[in-house]
A and B are shown apart, each in its own frame.
Chain A
Amino acid sequence: MVRRFGARLIQSVILLWIVSIVGFSLLYLTPGGPLAMFAETPGMTQEDVERLERQLGLDQPAPIQYLRWAGGLVVGDWGRSYRDDSPVLEVIGSRIGQTFKLMLAATAVAMSVGLATGILGAVRQYGRFDRVTTILTMIALSIPTFWFGLLVIYVFSQRLGWIPPGNAAPVGDDSWLSALHHLIGPALVLGLLSTAVWSRYMRSAVLETLAQDYIRTARAKGVLRSRLLFHHVLRNALLPMITLIGLELPSLFGGALVTETVFTWPGMGRLFFDSISYRDYPVILGMLIFSAILVISSNLIADTLYGVADPRLRRR
């Protein structure tokens, strides 16, 4: 178990290193470069631009630039933003809380609604509830996030006035009720897709489990229906859901970027959007590495959880 985790950890570090090379190279090869925007700035001479290049180390060959940057990553110096010269880690750190809050709320919605509908649908396969949820999940899977976001803002904010149209709770208002009120819209929008995914996966996992021989054995023992469902079916059907955590966290993160833009939510999504607009290379690279760490570690967590939860993978 510990050895397995260790091996996966080493793999993860190697993977992260590869991501850093690919990410850096792609950005390096992008035409324009970080100083392109100054070319049209009135009053900037060619000398000024070259001086800036020297200052930022952009005149160095690419491998040297990479090593400087990557070396900094390891010791926790992720560079400084071109925009306001604040450290990249600080910039990300100031935004990540809001994004995590949003992701957490969306996951709570997705897991509770998704798992419950998936289980109910499977238990009464082809029943009325199952058919309705099947249609609804198909719709949810096909709706683009930005469009659904606009729809929610239009209906629940503009027409009905139930929720604020965007932003987190205003500065100075730190009651949890207000925070929750602001969270409803974006969490719902962000959670919709995941809810559908969880529901579909859970439904098929429960159906697959129900068809297993050991469920017949349990019925043959005269096990009560409720115990059959919670003890035998769910224990087995929830195992593959652990894998889904590893898959869903990254996609939720990606979805958060879009949702945040629609709801002007002060999280990572807007930071990413703004950084690209400003060609703030250190922040862009920092976010790339950050999201890579998130993806890799969520898979690592899922794998580890699997090893703990499934007795067949446990080592004695």
Chain B
Amino acid sequence: MTTPLLDVSDLTVRFSQDRGKVYAVNGVSYSLARGETLAVVGESGSGKSAHVLAMPGLLGTGRYTGAGAAVEVGGSAVFAGKELIGMPEAELRRLRGSRIGFVFQDPMSSLNPVLTVGEQIAEAITSHGVSPRTAEARALDLLDIVGIPEPRRRARHFPHQFSGGMRQRAMIAIGIACEPALLIADEPTTALDVLVQAQIIDLMKDLRRQLGMAMIWITHDMGVVASIADTVQVMYGGRIMERGPVRAVFHDTRSAYTWGLLNSLPDAEMHAPSLAGRRPRLRQIPGQPPDMTQVPVGDPFAPRNRFATHRCLSETPPLQQVADGAPGHLVAAWYDLPQVLRAVAHRDASPQALTEMGT
């Protein structure tokens, strides 16, 4: 096996606040191969963005960040043979934008309102030792590559003169400007409407193929995961709950949290008026996300999990290969989900009751 592009082990992120600490990421380990696309899913506060942004030093460790909270990052993250955690800011800066590209969620607030789009793209190139003249020409090429018509004219425009989809295309142009080996996309389609989302996903797929880059795609949209990712990683309470090939995780779900997430998706059927004139309720996961200011104990999802055992509350389950599952399909659970579900189905012998287990 060749060396992975990114090798993360036991990564932790803590925010120090006035009132104690926030345990944002609590020991995350995984590796990402060259050209692989990893989707990281989870709800707000699951640590999905925090753990990815912490590695390249974008979580307020550097100065000029304005973040009031101090950030402590622990563990290890080796990118292309270099340890990122503890790397001096000057060295991290050289990696960011050149070897690691970024696309952020809201392209309106993520682009500088007082600089032209062309300037902002060119800057990603000049920051890595390319002359302004070359960078300007390259910026026009990039606008063309990401599908913005009339690049020469559009480059002189400001972000507010672009539509939402166009702005995200410009943001992508910035992300891929130096043809990075890894593109980190933090919910790049969340702020866009559905049709534009699909266009942006297609564009990213094309670019991934052309540039052969690996991607970490942070999202909470399972539909997006299915359409773009090789591997999916479900996070909760700053931990990986389940991880594996998309097909395995979706069709042979082993974590109660993943199962809850998948069950809470509305489908087209639900929106069609049923014969009785009544629509089925959206199945949500009961309870509240965990309080991240407490020192984590046990399985973080246990308090909201109907299938949780006493062991789940007191002992943290390790992330392990699913015994009878696909290779690379890992889960952190003390219970055996398929077995639990079979038992419940057997007892109630009614599919309706099973659905309600998830509500």
A interface residue numbers (CB < 8 A to B): 122-125, 207, 209-225, 227-229, 231-233, 235-236, 239, 310-312
Contact = CB atoms under 8 A, between A and B. Distances in A.
A165 to B, nearest CB: 45
Contact of B63 (A123, A209, A212, A217): A123
Contacts of B171: 217
Please classify the interface of chain A as helix (H, G, I), strand (E, B), loop, or mixed, using the class held by over half of its residues: helix
30 contacts: A123-B63, A123-B64, A211-B67, A213-B104, A213-B106, A214-B111, A215-B65, A216-B58, A216-B104, A216-B110, A217-B102, A217-B111, A218-B123, A219-B62, A219-B65, A221-B124, A221-B174, A222-B95, A222-B96, A222-B97, A222-B98, A222-B124, A223-B97, A223-B127, A224-B93, A225-B63, A229-B64, A235-B112, A236-B113, A310-B113
A225 B96 CA distance: 13
Contacts of A214: 109-113
B287 interface: no
Interface residues of B, number: 36
B123 A221 contact: yes
- Counting from the closest, the 4 A-B pairs by CB-CB distance are A210-B66, A222-B97, A220-B102, A221-B97
A232 B113 contact: no
Interface string B161-185: 0000000000100100100000000
Given A220-B96, A224-B127, A312 B109 contact: no
Contacts of A229: 64
Nearest to A207: B66
B160 interface: yes
Interface in B100-120: 101-102, 104, 106, 109-115, 120
Nearest to A314: B158
B112 A221 contact: no
A212 B110 CA distance: 8
Given A222-B95, A224-B93, A215 B64 contact: yes
Contacts of B123: 218, 221, 223, 227, 231
Contacts of B94: 222
B346 interface: no
Interface string B46-62: 00000000001010001
Contacts, number: 104
B64 A210 contact: yes
A124 B114 contact: no
B58 A236 contact: no
B66 A219 contact: no
Given A123-B63, A211-B66, A312-B160, A218 B93 contact: no
B342 interface: no
Nearest to A233: B64
Contacts of B93: 219, 222-225
Nearest to A217: B110
B128 interface: yes
Contacts of A220: 56, 58, 96-97, 101-102, 104
B20 interface: no
B68 interface: yes
A209 B111 CA distance: 12
A225 B88 CA distance: 13
Nearest to B125: A221
Nearest to B96: A222
Given A221-B123, A236-B112, 4 more contacts: A124-B63, A209-B66, A210-B64, A215-B64
A222 B67 CA distance: 18
Contacts of A222: 93-98, 124, 127-128
A122 to B, nearest CB: 8
Which among A209, A213, A221, A239 has the greatest number of chain B C-beta atoms within 10 A? A221
A73 to B, nearest CB: 41
A229 to B, nearest CB: 6
Nearest to A235: B114
A311 B63 contact: no
A215 to B, nearest CB: 7
Given A123-B63, A224-B127, A219 B158 contact: no
Nearest to A222: B97
Nearest to B68: A125
A217 B98 CA distance: 13
Contacts of B101: 220
Interface in B128-185: 128, 158, 160, 171, 174, 177
